[in-house]
Amino acid sequence: MWPVTDRMETRRQGTTGQVVVSPLSRMMNRGMQFALDVIVLSAAFVLAYLLRFEFVLSGEQLRSLTIQWPLVLLVQFSALFVSGVYAFIWRYVGLAELRAFLKAAFWSGLILVFLRLALPDVLQHWRIPLSVILMDSVLAFGGIVGVRVLRRAVYERYERRRRAVGAGEVERKPVLLVGAGRAGVLAAKEIRGRGDMNLEILGFVDDDPEKQGAVIQGVRVLGRSRDLPRLAEELQPDHVIITIAQASRRQLRRIMAICEKAGLKARIIPGLYEILDGRVGISAIRDVEIEDLLGREPVRLDEDSIARFIKGKTVMVTGAGGSIGSEMARQVARFGPSTLLLLERAEFALFEIDRELRRHRPDLAVVALVGDVCDEPRVRQIMERYRPAVVFHAAAHKHVPMMELNPIEAVKNNVLGTWTAGVAAAEAGAEAFVLISTDKAVRPSSVMGASKRVAELVVRELDRRFSTRFIIVRFGNVMGSAGSVIPIFREQIRRGGPVTVTHPDMVRYFLTIPEASQLVLQAGAMGDGGELFILDMGEPVRIFDLARDMITLSGLKPFEDIDIVFTGIRPGEKLFEELQTAGEDIEKTRHPKVFIGRINGYPSETIDMALDRIRVLALDGDDRAVRAFLEELLPEARLRVG
């Protein structure tokens, strides 16, 4: 009678593809639970009476039991209902729900004790002995919980068998779990509870001395991470799984070095943020990737201020199909805007992010808008129709070598597009406009960097002219963005090499795309208008080390299996990037990873002249003249004019 089968729970497919339990099945299950509870509570009360009187009941005592039994059931069931016990899905009951059962036991026992003391002698048959009340409370609610625990155990056993049958006979790979904390417990529970995962847990490895020898979720802690070589020799695991919730870069590098020494392949579970956000499950175990080794401490956001900035408002993201724009859209969606506008000129990229958001955020009003920020009539039409309160301007050309070949497109999109979007947003009554800028705008050596520097100056000018708060957020490279070095290296390794590095001493700052997007939201929420916010990029990374690590993570050896070739610095590139220029007076903010400065704007007439000149140059199509004008406008720029 215990396992949940298709006969017991008639299911149907909802329109969203989700499995829905039929109302009839739900009623049958609740009716069965109610009946079981009646049996358990009744048996507990009778047993308490028998224990109290040593299993010998006189006629008077039997009469009292019979009279008191309905009262006890009424009080106990009332306590269960008030405590919310019947709102639980009983096969998922765990420790978190135990409080409700304890609350019900306490209040029902208190009521019965009160009646015992308050009722007069003439109603002595209604006065339950105190010892019976105590024993009954323990037996009754212990039995209630026990039934649910039994149900859960049987259900999980049934699910394991069902999944195992569905997966067929597979050879299980022995593994060690590195990290016996919260994430490790979740991983062990998931692996052991599923029959379709071809993994057998040999034990935990954890550096906490108090956990040594302990048994967690039925799995013993066998040693510390330094013991991995010994455990690998003794137990012969197929691989290890790193189950540390938010492992720092230093931790991962240390564990990876130990695993490499022991000849062990290492894999990793997703971060808890991804799991709790519903993107992946704990069982989505994957190989360790370079993003993990470059990862940083999790961002702690002032979510209240961001919610005030976004919640219930119409928010627009330009360039919403790009790497940064799409992640900005995901992060904005978390904070409950009334409407999310996605502006993008690449139709397929827009389709992808629109479909993703509609799948994961079905209650959010998402509007996909095909359009180019350089198309002034289209941008004005959109702004006037939807009147966004907040605009995150991520639309830009970002690829340095490509923009060296196409300087006119760089200034059209990055400068004129920013001006068009900013003016249209302000005239439509936007509260805030946030420009996403780049470290390449600091003392620019490329057309792309120079165009973004002019875009910063344009936004600073817009803040002077309009009541809208115009804010600039500047940061460096993001891991995995379109055209960035990491996907290029990954593709080169997949093809068998060589991996091309421009210079052995070239270094770059790296942020993850989610971290950058979250900090942009944080900076936007803090801005009053006219500020330059600079994100903390952490420690710079040598690109040569990055290439070597990626080859090693692929199970290959640098310079043996995959060669690394130095190709020379490309036009517009620097050996290292800077995040601020002279006179910007960077200071700390209340957020440890966001710094604030002021950008020295140009006179309004200079900005107007620059915009007019860029419009003319864009029509003329003279790439050389564009470079020359950027150098003239930006004395700190060092561009190759040719």
Highest mean pLDDT among 20-29, 114-123, 419-428, 467-476 belongs to 419-428
User: Partners of 11 in the beta sheet?
Assistant: 21
pLDDT band for position 55 (50/70/90)? confident
Does the pLDDT value for residue 551 go beyond 90?
no
Q: Is the predicted pLDDT of residue 146 greater than 50, yes or no?
A: yes
**Residue 162 burial class via C-beta count within 10 angstroms: exposed 0-12, middle 13-18, buried 19 and up:** middle
425-434, pLDDT tens digit by residue?
999 999 999 9
% of the chain beyond a pLDDT of 90: 27
**Residue 622 identity (one-letter amino acid):** D
Q: How far apart are CA 595 and CA 365, in angstroms?
A: 33
Q: Which residue has the higher pLDDT, 450 or 637?
A: 450
d(CA 570, CA 501): 11
The reported pLDDT for the residue numbered 16 is: 37
Q: What is the pLDDT of residue 73?
A: 86
Which of 352-366, 534-548, 620-634 has the least mean pLDDT? 534-548
Residue 386 contacts by C-beta under 8 Å, 6 or more apart in sequence?
Answer: 314, 316, 339, 341, 367
8 Å CB contact between 300 and 536? no
Burial class (CB in 10 A: 0-12, 13-18, 19+), 381: middle
What pLDDT does 198 receive?
Answer: 73
At residue 205, φ and ψ (nearest 5 deg) are: -125, 125
| Rounded distance between C-alpha atoms, residue 181 and residue 142, angstroms | 29
Cα distances (Å, whole numbers) of residue 389 to 122, 202, 362, 464, 484: 73, 55, 22, 18, 32
Neighbours of 322 (CB within 10 A): 22
47-51, 283-287, 484-488: least confident range: 283-287
Q: What is the pLDDT of residues 363-386, one digit of tens each?
A: 999 999 999 999 999 999 999 999
Q: Dihedral, CA atoms, 241, 243, 248, 253, nearest 10 degrees?
A: -20
pLDDT of residue 15: 36
Strands, E, within 439-514: which ranges? Answer: 469-475, 477-479, 499-501, 507-508, 510-512
Q: Does 160 have pLDDT greater than 80?
A: no
Give the least confident one: 112-116, 307-311, 438-442, 504-508: 504-508
Q: What are phi and psi of 56, to 5 degrees?
A: -125, 110
Using CA atoms, how far apart are residues 626 and 96, in angstroms rounded to an integer?
65
Fold category of 310-601 in CATH:
Rossmann fold (3.40.50)
Q: Tell me what pLDDT residue 472 has.
A: 94
Q: Which residues of 254-269 are buried (b: 16+ CB within 10 A; e: fewer)?
A: ebbebbeebebebbbb
Residue 642 reports pLDDT greater than 50? no
What pLDDT is recorded for position 603?
93
Q: Which of 400, 615, 605 is nearest to 629 (CA)?
A: 615
* Across 585-592, average pLDDT: 72
Most confident range, picked from 163-177, 316-330, 496-510, 565-579 = 316-330
Q: Assess whether pLDDT exceeds 90 at residue 266.
A: no
pLDDT bin (cut points 50, 70, 90) of residue 89 is low
Between CA 187 and CA 480, with CA 257 as vertex, the angle to 5 degrees is 70
For the chain, the average pLDDT equals 81
Residue 287: the pLDDT is 65
CA distances in angstroms from 306 to 518, 535, 642, listed in the order given:
10, 16, 46
pTM for the model stands at 0.61
Which pLDDT belongs to residue 31?
Answer: 73
Tokens of 384: 């006037």
Q: Is the peptide bond before 23 cis (omega within 30 degrees of 0)?
A: no
**Mean per-residue pLDDT for 474-484?**
68
pLDDT at 120 over 70: yes
- CA-CA distance, 139 to 437, in Å (whole number)? 66
At the fourth CATH level, the homologous superfamily of domain 173-288 is NAD(P)-binding Rossmann-like Domain (3.40.50.720)
Q: Is the confidence at residue 279, as pLDDT, over 50?
A: no
Q: Answer yes or no: is pLDDT of 614 > 90.
A: yes
Contact 618, 408 (CB under 8 A): yes
State the amino acid at position 67 in one-letter form.
I
- Are 43 and 86 a contacting pair, CB within 8 Å? no
Instruction: Inform me whether the pLDDT recorded for 316 exceeds 90.
Output: yes
pLDDT at 518 over 90: no
The helix/strand count (H/E) of the chain reads as 22, 24
pLDDT bucket at 165, cuts 50 / 70 / 90: low
Task: Give the per-residue pLDDT at 502.
Answer: 85
Higher pLDDT, residue 130 or 587: 130
In this predicted model, which residue has the larger pLDDT, 303 or 315? Answer: 315
Q: Above 50 in pLDDT, residue 400?
A: yes
Q: How far apart are CA 477 and CA 513, in angstroms?
A: 9
**How far apart, in Å, are the Cα atoms of 636 and each of 182, 416, 443?**
51, 21, 5
What per-residue confidence (pLDDT) applies to 3?
A: 36
**Residue 371 has what pLDDT?**
95
Q: Where are the beta strands (DSSP E) in 192-322?
A: 199-205, 215-216, 219-223, 239-242, 265-268, 286-287, 314-318
Q: pLDDT-based confidence at 137, cuts 50/70/90?
A: confident
Report which of residues 253 and 521 the model is more confident about.
Answer: 521
pLDDT in tens, 2-38: 333 333 333 443 433 344 444 545 555 667 778 888 8
3-state secondary structure 301-345: CCHHHHHHHHCCCEEEEECCCCHHHHHHHHHHHHCCCCEEEEEEC
pLDDT of 409 above 90: yes
- Compare 426 and 293 and report the one with higher pLDDT: 426
Q: Where do you find CATH 3.40.50.720 in the chain?
A: 173-288, 310-601
DSSP structure class, residue 441: G
